[in-house]
Amino acid sequence: MNSTQTWERSHICAFRTPPPPHFREGHPVRSSHHRIVATVLAALLILAAGFGLAGAPSAAAATPVRIMPLGDSITGSPGCWRSLLWNQLQDAGYTDVDFVGTLNAQSCALTHDADNEGHGGFQATATADQNLLPGWLAATSPDIVVMHFGTNDVWSSIAPDTILAAYTKLVGQMRAANPAMKVLVAQLIPINPSSCAECAARTVAFNQRVPAWAQGITTAQSPVTVVDQWTGFDTATDTYDGVHPNAAGDAKMAARWYPALSALLTPGGPEGPGSGGCSAAFRAVSVWQDGYQGEVTVTNTSSTAAISSWAVTLVLPTGSRITQVWNGALTGTTVRNAGWNGTVPAGASTTFGFLASTAAAAGTSVTATCSAS
């Protein structure tokens, strides 16, 4: 064996790979030189792939945001506001979301992700006392909890302080499972069952306490946002029994959840003119013939300091008029923060929503300008 043959054999062994198709068994071997070149090229391709030179791997699919609807029968039996909310998110392009829960009741008209944690007849206080939530969290690993919980406690004349203490324990368990848990907590829809004359007033009294509780427990890492499900909800027209939402009530609940939830899914966004440490970004959530639903995200533009209050002035198209606002207080066309969402940590955001009537040709081009202190 001469020196050239020795070099060929040693290098072929060193770079041995499956031969190209025209060198397979049964095909003629053209020459030693061709065999060496093919083998070395194959080895170089392997090395190039290792360094990302032979084509980058396909991008990993985005991990869905896991959302747990938590509560009692208003959430789970059947809780068809969840189906409306799911479809609103899908229609708006929020497709990387996964509703999670240990329950799955497919009894609503719209196809949707029906996983939930809405346990009919359950109380928030008993759920906290019996430590039921940690098991549900461990089984589902949510990133966001959407909670309408406490109606059965109010019905049972449990004191607001006791219910709020249960809320505090539940939020603590959420944070133990996920330190960055984001929580949306409802001010409960009104109830007026024929068997409980005092329930309507009890619900009002409890709801009045929720914003201050939320402000005291919220953190930058794990914000707790209050969603007003009470204002504008009428038990006579929006429930079928004074307690549980009918189709109209489901639509109202979904419309209230959507702005707050979508803000957690896409914080920030195109910003409008800003001053005084905040910016405001408007988006049209849904549009119909003579009106639309708008959402405004208020962002603290400071990287170091919190703001304690904000005001957003809206310039609407000619012929448009704001008819309803939630998570804010309206004066003219200026929306100021509610009592629970004025404090916004550095770099963080909050949202408010509104309904507007409009002329058919007016459109939804809204300018939002923010000021803060």
Please tell me the predicted confidence (pLDDT) of residue 301.
Answer: 80
pLDDT of 275 above 70? no
Residue 109 phi/psi, 5-degree rounding, is: -70, -35
Report the alpha-carbon distance of residue 258 to residue 352 in Å, rounded: 11
Mean pLDDT for the stretch of residues 31-35: 48
Mean pLDDT for the stretch of residues 83-101: 90
Please tell me the predicted confidence (pLDDT) of residue 14.
Answer: 40
If one compares 352 and 56, the residue with the highest pLDDT of the two is 352
Question: Which residues, including other chains, have CB under 8 Å from residue 342's CB and lie 6 or more apart?
Answer: 307, 308, 309, 310
- Which ranges of the chain would DSSP assign to H, the alpha helix? 3-14, 32-50, 73-76, 81-91, 124-129, 133-140, 151-155, 160-177, 199-217, 235-238, 247-265
- Give the tens place of pLDDT for each residue, 42-91: 444 444 444 333 333 333 446 899 999 999 999 999 999 999 999 988 88
pLDDT of 142 above 60? yes
Please tell me the predicted confidence (pLDDT) of residue 249.
Answer: 92
Q: How confident is the model at residue 20 (pLDDT cuts 50, 70, 90)?
A: very low
Please tell me the predicted confidence (pLDDT) of residue 268.
Answer: 36
| Residue 66, strand partner residues | 98
Q: List the single range of 233-247, 263-277, 291-305 with lowest mean pLDDT.
A: 263-277
Mean pLDDT for the stretch of residues 264-292: 67
Please tell me the predicted confidence (pLDDT) of residue 308.
Answer: 85
Report the alpha-carbon distance of residue 92 to residue 337 in Å, rounded: 26
Please tell me the predicted confidence (pLDDT) of residue 132.
Answer: 98
Q: Decide: pTM greater than 0.85.
A: no
Mean pLDDT for the stretch of residues 154-160: 97
Report the alpha-carbon distance of residue 55 to residue 215 in Å, rounded: 50
- Give the tens place of pLDDT for each residue, 205-221: 999 999 999 989 999 89
pLDDT of 141 above 90? yes
- Give percent of the chain above pLDDT 90: 51
pLDDT of 351 above 70? yes
If one compares 25 and 34, the residue with the highest pLDDT of the two is 34
Please tell me the predicted confidence (pLDDT) of residue 94.
Answer: 87
Which pair of structure tokens corresponds to residue 217?
A: 């427990």
pLDDT of 270 above 70? no
Question: Which residues, including other chains, have CB under 8 Å from residue 271's CB and lie 6 or more apart?
Answer: 279, 280, 281, 299
The segment with the largest mean pLDDT, out of 195-204, 281-290, 326-335, is 195-204
Check if the beta carbon of residue 351 is closer than 8 Å to that of residue 280.
no
Residue with tokens 């019996």: 130
Please tell me the predicted confidence (pLDDT) of residue 276.
Answer: 43
Please tell me the predicted confidence (pLDDT) of residue 306.
Answer: 84
Report the alpha-carbon distance of residue 208 to residue 214 in Å, rounded: 11
Q: Name the residue among 160, 153, 167 with its Cα closest to residue 74.
A: 153
Which DSSP state fits 319? T
Please tell me the predicted confidence (pLDDT) of residue 266.
Answer: 62
Check if the beta carbon of residue 184 is closer than 8 Å to that of residue 260.
yes
Which DSSP state fits 61? P
